[in-house]
Each structure stands twice: as structure tokens, then as C-alpha cells.
Structure 1
Amino acid sequence: MQNLYCPKCGQNLNGNTNLKFCPKCGAKIQTNISGNNKKQDDIDKLMNSDFIQMIKRDYFSYTGRLNRKIYFIRSLVLVVIECILFVLIDELDTRSDDFSLILMLLSFILLCLCIVADFMLDMRRFHDLDKSGYFALLSLIPAITPFLYLYLFLMLGTKGANQYGNDPLENTY
């Protein structure tokens, strides 16, 4: 019996091949009739794992609000990863073998993903300040960037619900 998972939310469907839609999120379920595609099943399980879902939810979502503490911690994690990738790319830049080029390309792709995650975090922090996420584009202007991040790190978010969602501090214990 093969375990099936929802491609959108990762819900375990307990091998029920008769389902056409996920009972949790309503996403369309495509069943593998042949059952021979183990590699694709492994990829689906990985993409629907709790860790991948957590990364998508915490770093690659532009909806909702993000308070100062969580914003600072997640930004710090991304800065550390970006610094490691910059050092790796700089070190690999002097080499010319194929493995180094592939590793440098993968590092560059990861760096781009980190930059996208930075923008997503910035957008959610602006939402907590009851401002549009488009203000995150101001970080592309070098003269404004330091002041922008000081603003994001120091300003208190909107008390209570705003147009972007509930206060993230109300959900903490």
C-alpha cells in the first residue's frame, strides 16, 4: 500500500486512491496508477515534508505579519547563510574545474533564494507596520537601506488587527 500526500499542504491521505481532492485544503489529488514511479514519489514526499513546508511558510510567504523579534532572528539566519555563500563563491571563483563551477552555480542559486526570502520577510514586517509590502523595494536604493532596516528593526508593529492580519504578538503565550 502506497502512502499518498497532498501536493499543496502535505496532508497524509492514508493511501486512499479514491480521493480526487484533499479533505484538508481542497487541492486536486493526482494518483499514480502504475505505482512504478518511486523517484517521483520520493521527490513528492520531500517537497511535502514538514521541514520544506515550514521553510515555505516562514521564509517564502508574503502574506500576514511579522513582529520585530521573529523578523530579527530570521533575518540573522539569512545573513549568516548569505555570508557563508559569499565566502564560498569568492573561494570557488579562483578555481576552474567542473566541480567548482557547479558548486559555485548552486551557491549562486541559493544566494538568490536567500535574497528573495529577505524581500518576503521585509514585506511581512512592513505589513506589521500597516504599510504596503512594496516599501520593501526601497531596500534596493543603497542610500536608504541602512535607515530602512533601522526602521524595520526598531518600530513597534500595529497593535491589534490591521488590514494585513491579526497581531502576531496576540498569538504568543
Structure 2
Amino acid sequence: MNWYLEVLKKYAVFSGRSRRKEYWYFALFYLLISIALGVVDRAFGFFRIEAGIGLLGAIFALLMFIPSLAVGVRRLHDTNRSGWWTLLCLVPCIGHFVLLVFLVQDSKPGENRYGSNPKKLPEPKLPFELALALRYLRPKRTFVSMITL
């Protein structure tokens, strides 16, 4: 839920980068909320078969259009692509699939022209041999040293 709220805080921010986790959690919660609103629309008679969407679902979709577009653009920036690639969804048949491939790709490591990598950098790990040596070379605790601590 935090990732969904994080996207809403950046309601119309089209600059910068968004990691996969942020994008896909937003998409998941968007889908779940849309389904729930569809159920409510049907239960209260707000759903119109001609429109294919209910009143609450339509309002939600309109409210979420800008944040959805913004997080998609930031996600493309994370793969070092321009936000204009979102227009691929207008290409019949293949456009959505190509865009999906772009959206599931991992971040480009380090900084790119859209900003720094949103992933936290992993802490450097000690080489195995050094970690093993440190483990066995440190002094053993004796009963006397444990009492004085």
C-alpha cells in the first residue's frame, strides 16, 4: 500500500525514475480498487453495459489517469527510455506487448540521464576468505572475559 501512496504523492511528477516495485504495486492496487468499485457499481446499479464501466469506476479512472501516466513515464526513465514510449500502446496488437517488455525490465544500474537509480545500493560485502579469516582469528570469549563485560 505504501508504494501506491508514494505514486499518489508524486501525482503529476514526470521527471525522475521509478523502480519496478513501485510501478507494479501501483498497478496491483489500481486493479484491486477498480474491481472493488466495479462490484459496488453493480450492487448499486451504477454500472452501464453500454459504457462498459460504472460511475465510480469511471471517476476513479479519471482521477488516476495522470498518476498512472506519470509512474509509467518514470518507469520508462528507469530503463533509460524516453516517456514518449508510452505512446506505443496506441499501436494496434503489438504496442502493448512491447511496452510491457519495457516496463518489466530491470533498472539500468547507476545514474542515467533521468536521475540516480532509485534502488538502494547494496552494501559492499567482504570477500569470502576475508570474512572466514576474521571469524576464526578473533579471540575466543572465555568465562572470565564474559564476567568482566
Q: TM-score range with shorter-chain normalisation? A: 0.5 to 0.7
**2:22 counterpart of 1:70:** yes
Question: Map of 1:34-45 to 2, 5 A cutoff?
Answer: none
Partner of 1:108: 58
The amino acid across from 2:17 in the alignment is R
Partner of 1:80: 32
Q: Which structure ranks higher in relative contact order (CA pairs < 8 Å, sequence separation ≥ 6)?
A: 2
2 CA distance for matches of 1:118 and 1:141? Answer: 19
1:76-117 C-alpha deviation (Å, 9 max, x unpaired): 1112222333444454136xxxxxxxxx54542221122332
Partner of 1:133: 83
One of 47, 67, 75 as aligned partner of 1:93:
47
Question: Is contact 1:126-1:133 (8 Å) kept?
Answer: yes
1 CA distance for matches of 2:98 and 2:35? Answer: 21
1:55-74 C-alpha deviation (Å, 9 max, x unpaired): 54345321110111222111
Question: Is contact 2:34-2:57 (8 Å) kept?
Answer: no
Q: Which has the larger radius of gyration?
A: 2
Q: Secondary structure at the match of 1:112?
A: helix
2 CA distance for matches of 1:168 and 1:55? Answer: 13
Structure 1: segments with no counterpart, 5+ residues = 1-52, 95-103
After TM superposition, the score normalised by the length of structure 2 is 0.60
Question: Map of 1:13-28 to 2, 5 A cutoff?
Answer: none
Question: Is contact 1:82-1:114 (8 Å) kept?
Answer: no
1:170, distance to aligned residue in structure 2 (A): 3.1
Structure 2: segments with no counterpart, 5+ residues = 49-53, 124-149
Identity among equivalent pairs (%):
28
State the aligned residue count. 111
2 CA distance for matches of 1:92 and 1:105? Answer: 6
The amino acid across from 2:65 in the alignment is I
Runs of 4 or more consecutive aligned structure 1 residues displaced over 6 Å after TM superposition: none
After TM superposition, the score normalised by the length of structure 1 is 0.53
- Computed over aligned residues only, the root mean square deviation of the Cα atoms, in angstroms, reads 2.7
1:96-153 C-alpha deviation (Å, 9 max, x unpaired): xxxxxxxx54542221122332211110001001111111122233522133213311
2 CA distance for matches of 1:157 and 1:68? Answer: 8
